[in-house]
Amino acid sequence: MDFEYADAVNQAIRLLSLRHRARAAALLAPLGLHPGQEALLLELSRTGPMIQAQLSEALGCEPPSVTLMTRKLEASGHIRRKSAPSDKRASIVELTESGEALVEQVKQLWCALAEETVTGLPAETAAELPGILKTLTGNVDTRRSRRHSV
């Protein structure tokens, strides 16, 4: 691969990532959320209560980041944490009624952001995009590299 093509690919991905995160932040702010918190809420909505370490793995975040997010969301009343019966050092995280209501707003926002993001793409390309992006993510997943090198 030549540098010009590599640069074009890498710059496009970098700019998309930065601008998508900034746009998400602008849309989340009126809900009192910061980027990343919506992913935590959506994950709990999909899976139900889970141990904080599992949540960290599911989100692809470091445990301290999840701890910070859960503290903020707990303080705002959207989630609650309780000790896991099998391990008192572990915390189970679950949505509250307030969190469940917020998830519905986040889902609407998430749909609007996705629609905005794929505007102008042919329908076939938009349909293939999740698979393409998942492949790209897997290609650069540092967690995968660490697991295979151990």
CB atoms within 10 A of CB 11: 10
Task: Please give the CATH architecture assigned to the domain spanning 3-119.
Answer: Orthogonal Bundle (1.10)
Please give the average per-residue pLDDT across 83-107, as a whole number: 92
Q: How confident is the model at residue 150 (pLDDT cuts 50, 70, 90)?
A: very low
Give the whole-angstrom CA distance, residue 108 versus residue 27: 11
Give the whole-angstrom CA distance, residue 29 versus residue 32: 5
**Could you tell me the residue ranges of all domains in the chain?**
3-119
**How high is the pLDDT of residue 143?**
63
**Predicted structure pTM score:** 0.85
8 A C-beta contact, residue 24 and residue 36: no
Q: How many CA atoms lie within 13 A of 146 on its CB side?
A: 3
